[in-house]
Amino acid sequence: MESSDAVRVGEIDGMYSFLQNIDWTEPWLIALLVCHLLCLVFTIVTRKHANIQAILFLLLLFLIFMSEWINEYAASNYKLFSRLQYFDSSGLFIAVVFSLPLLCNCLLMVMIWVYQMAHLLVKVKRAEIRHKLKSEEAKDK
């Protein structure tokens, strides 16, 4: 591997400088960002469809699980799709650019589910109170 093909790790001293060293104009990175955006939109659009969201949730977790293998494959074949070698042995690049957005999407789904469950709990409790009041009124008559 040539030194010009790799991101200089010595220049990176934080997350901001790490993100600055990425060439965001590469087509595959743009495609990845578009995929993350489409996944987010799909998550929001399907928020009322629990089965679809459960499948999406499991798919995203599977992709996160496979990120180590994806990192190894991309590191050995980066010249097929990238000008620079971003894929390090520690997996920082794939964790930040690939796994982190997927995890945020999964977190969003969990937050949607918690909100829906809280809303459902309020509905059930209101129905329970109404039923209790109606049964008490029936007893009084």
Looking at residue 137, its pLDDT comes to 86
Local structure of residue 74 (DSSP, 8 states): H
Query: For a pLDDT cut of 90, what percent of the chain falls above it?
Result: 72
Only one residue has tokens 């790790």, namely 9
> Over the chain, what is the mean pLDDT?
90
For residue range 1-17, list pLDDT tens digits in order. 444 555 565 666 778 87
User: Residues near 110 by Cβ (< 8 Å), separated by ≥ 6?
Assistant: none
Strand partners, 6: 85
Q: Is 85 helix (H, G, I), strand (E, B) or coil?
A: strand
Between CA 8 and CA 109 the distance in angstroms is 36
pLDDT higher for 54 or 14? Answer: 54
User: Residues near 118 by Cβ (< 8 Å), separated by ≥ 6?
Assistant: none
Q: Which tokens in the block code for residue 14?
A: 């934080």
- Angle ∠(58,63,66) on CA atoms, nearest 5: 125
Q: Which tokens in the block code for residue 20?
A: 């600055």
Looking at residue 13, its pLDDT comes to 73
For residue range 107-120, list pLDDT tens digits in order. 999 999 999 999 99
User: Residues near 93 by Cβ (< 8 Å), separated by ≥ 6?
Assistant: 7, 22, 71, 86, 87
pLDDT band at 101 (very low <50, low <70, confident <90, very high): very high
Looking at residue 4, its pLDDT comes to 54
